[in-house]
Amino acid sequence: MARPVGSKNTKTEQWEKFSVWFVTQGMERLQKEMEQLEGKDYVTTVRDMLEYFKPKLARTELTGKDGKDLNINVLKYGGNNTPQLPAKAVPVAATGSD
C-alpha cells in the first residue's frame, strides 16, 4: 500500500530525529572532541567536515564547438577605458558596395 500524499517515509523521519538529536546534544560533544585536536589533526577534521556544509563544486571542462579548443580573446584596455585590439582583430566596416 502506498503512503498518503505528503507523508514522510521512515528514513526521512529517522533522519529528522537524528538531526534534532545532533543539534541539541551531539554538537556539544563534537565541540569538546574538536577542542582536543591540535595541528594537522584539527585542520584535516575541519576540512573534511566543511564538505558537508559547503559541498565541493564539480570540475568542469570548457570546450569550443564540437569539442574543439576554446579560444579566449583577452582585451587590453588603454586610456579612457577603450579596448585596444590587435590590428588583425579590428573589424572592417562594411562599405555597402557588396
**The pLDDT of residue 82 is above 80:** no
Backbone angles phi, psi at 91, to 5 degrees: -70, 145
Query: Pick the residue with more confidence: 72 or 39?
Result: 39
2 or 38, which is more confident: 38
> Which cell numbers in the block locate residue 47?
576540512
Tell me the per-residue pLDDT of 7-55, one tens digit each, with 9 for 90 and over: 888 999 999 999 899 888 888 898 999 999 999 999 999 988 888 877 7
45 within 8 A of 37, measured Cβ to Cβ: yes
Question: Strands, E, within the chain: which ranges?
Answer: 76-77, 83-84
The pTM of the full predicted model, rounded to 2 decimals, is 0.41
Rounded Cα–Cα distance for residues 5 and 63 (Å): 44
What are the sequence ranges of the domains in the chain? 16-89
Whether 62 and 70 have beta carbons less than 8 Å apart is answered as yes
